[in-house]
Amino acid sequence: MDLKIFDVEHGACALLTADNNARLMLDAGHNGSTNWRPGTYLRQQNIGQLEMLGITNYDEDHVSGIEDLFDNVNVQWLTRNPSVSTAVLKKLKSADGMGPGIDRLCNAIDKVFTGGVGVSAQPTFLGLKCSTFHNAYPSFDDENNLSMLFFLECHGTGVLFTGDLETAGWIELLKDPLFRATLPRVNVLAAPHHGRENGCCEEAMKLCTNLFYVVISDKGYQYETQLTNPFYSRFAKGGPFRGQTRKILTTRNDGRIGFTFSADGWHPY
């Protein structure tokens, strides 16, 4: 099993390939500097079908490459925060304008996918268990705290994608005993909100007692990203990465970040 976290600057995009070659993509950002786009990349790899697309956050930087994705590959299943209808999403985006990625996502939800799911039977990802957590609209009415969290158990190794969740959203999710019980099983954390301070939650991180790596997807020190490295370093054990011992991995400095998982173990690359 393989997980790639792509360098899409201040955005998000990751691809998990399960043991049966079923593929789950989380978010669909793109890289404006290199013009890397998710659908074009998949086509270049001779991949014409994506079994599932998961959307962690309803901001443009998480879906800026979704037009390219939908135009190049067949997406069978969509997973997102189901409490947010397209009407609500358009209302949320009215303050700062609807970007082309969010507009294409809304169109796909309304015309292709129903109920936030898919057009076929839910796919099977061999070796993977996937759990999702989210706060519901209208208890929260901001895109960040309506992020969908994806907990991926890859042959028993836990990876948590957190979208752009902020501290208030963490606190609300921590009221769920199942979510609290999940955090000690997290070995890799994709830091919320691209490593910004407003995504930090001390109470949640204290429960991540088996955390090895924190991954930050960002474009540099925009919006004070990566200034939270000391915070996350307090909770991560660290491990080998490209000939060094590391706790914090960043697309800004490390480019594309990968992990392999098997019944015999796991490691980053």
Alpha-carbon gap, residue 195 to 221, rounded angstroms? 10
Question: 173: pLDDT confidence band, cut at 50, 70 and 90?
Answer: very high
Tell me the H-state helices in 139-238.
167-173, 177-182, 202-207, 229-233
Alpha-carbon gap, residue 47 to 21, rounded angstroms? 10
What are the φ and ψ backbone dihedral angles of 12, each rounded to 5 degrees? -150, 140
Alpha-carbon gap, residue 161 to 169, rounded angstroms? 14
At 228, the amino acid letter reads T
Q: What is the CATH number of the domain that holds 48?
A: 3.60.15.10
The DSSP secondary structure of 120-141, one letter per residue, reads: SSPP--TTEEEEEEE--TTT--
Provide the β-strand partners of residue 78.
53
Question: Residue holding tokens 């609807």?
Answer: 98
- Count structural domains, the chain: 1
The DSSP secondary structure of 23-68, one letter per residue, reads: EEEE----BTTTTB-HHHHHHHTT--EESEEE----SGGGTTTHHH
The per-residue pLDDT for 121 is 72
Asked whether the beta carbons of 266 and 233 are under 8 A apart, the reply is no
248: its two tokens:
């914090």
Residue 77 DSSP one-character state = B
Q: Which of 252, 192, 224, 258 is nearest to 9 (CA)?
A: 252
Judged against a pLDDT cut of 90, whether residue 20 lies above it is answered with: yes
Question: 37: pLDDT confidence band, cut at 50, 70 and 90?
Answer: very high
The per-residue pLDDT for 133 is 98
* Furthest-apart CA atoms within the chain: distance in Å: 49
Asked whether the beta carbons of 251 and 257 are under 8 A apart, the reply is yes
Q: What is the mean pLDDT of residues 178-207?
A: 97
Kindly report the number of other CB atoms within 10 A of residue 126's CB atom: 11
Q: Which domain holds residue 238?
A: 2-268
pLDDT in tens, 115-129: 445 556 789 999 999
Asked whether the beta carbons of 250 and 220 are under 8 A apart, the reply is no
Whole-number average pLDDT of the chain? 94
Alpha-carbon gap, residue 48 to 60, rounded angstroms? 24
Q: What is the mean pLDDT of residues 238-266?
A: 97
**Least confident residue range of 39-53, 153-167, 210-224:** 210-224
Alpha-carbon gap, residue 85 to 147, rounded angstroms? 14
Judged against a pLDDT cut of 90, whether residue 248 lies above it is answered with: yes
79: its two tokens:
């997973």
Asked whether the beta carbons of 147 and 176 are under 8 A apart, the reply is no
